[in-house]
Amino acid sequence: ETGVTQTPRHLVMGMTNKKSLKCEQHLGHNAMYWYKQSAKKPLELMFVYSLEERVENNSVPSRFSPECPNSSHLFLHLHTLQPEDSALYLCASSQLGRAYNEQFFGPGTRLTVL
């Protein structure tokens, strides 16, 4: 595997379900990110982990719970979501300290909440 991988690619869940999204980066980066992309809207930054510490939490509802067990893996635990949470969830990684913080993205998980 190379780059940034995400599983599952598609997820349909009910409002009472609990599920998790997984992200893995194979680039040796020291920062990882979760973004939400809704139709025709900018990518919304949800969480940033730098060296496995959460350094950003953009007022995300508590029904989204991130976990970063090591520098290569990032999870997003989902619990009692709402239909408006249906979106594309993107994971990214980068190497902080470089001139430009080029973030490398995974393919995303298309989430549908019924």
Partner 1 sequence: DQQVKQNSPSLSVQEGRISILNCDYTNSMFDYFLWYKKYPAEGPTFLISISSIKDKNEDGRFTVFLNKSAKHLSLHIVPSQPGDSAVYFCAAGAYNQGGKLIFGQGTELSVKP
Residues 6+ apart with CB under 8 A from 61: none
| Least Cβ distance, residue 98 to partner 1 (angstroms) | 10
Question: Is 94 an interacting residue with respect to partner 1 (CB under 8 A)?
Answer: yes
Q: Note whether 48 and 55 are within 8 A (CB).
A: yes
Stretch of residues binding partner 1 (CB under 8 A), selected from 11-19, 60-68, 74-82, 99-107 = 99-107
Identify the bridge partners of residue 104 per DSSP, sorted by sequence position: 93
Tell me the backbone φ, ψ of residue 73, rounded to 5 degrees.
Answer: -125, 140
Burial of 100 (0-12, 13-18, 19+ CB in 10 A): exposed
DSSP state of 42: P
Number of residues forming the site for partner 1 (CB under 8 A)? 27
Looking at the Cβ atoms of 20 and 37, the one nearer to partner 1 is 37
The region of 14-22, 34-42, 61-69, 78-86 touching partner 1 under the rule CB under 8 A is 34-42
Q: Which residues bind partner 1 (CB under 8 A)?
A: 4, 6, 31, 33, 40-43, 45, 48, 50, 55-56, 90, 92, 94, 96, 99-108
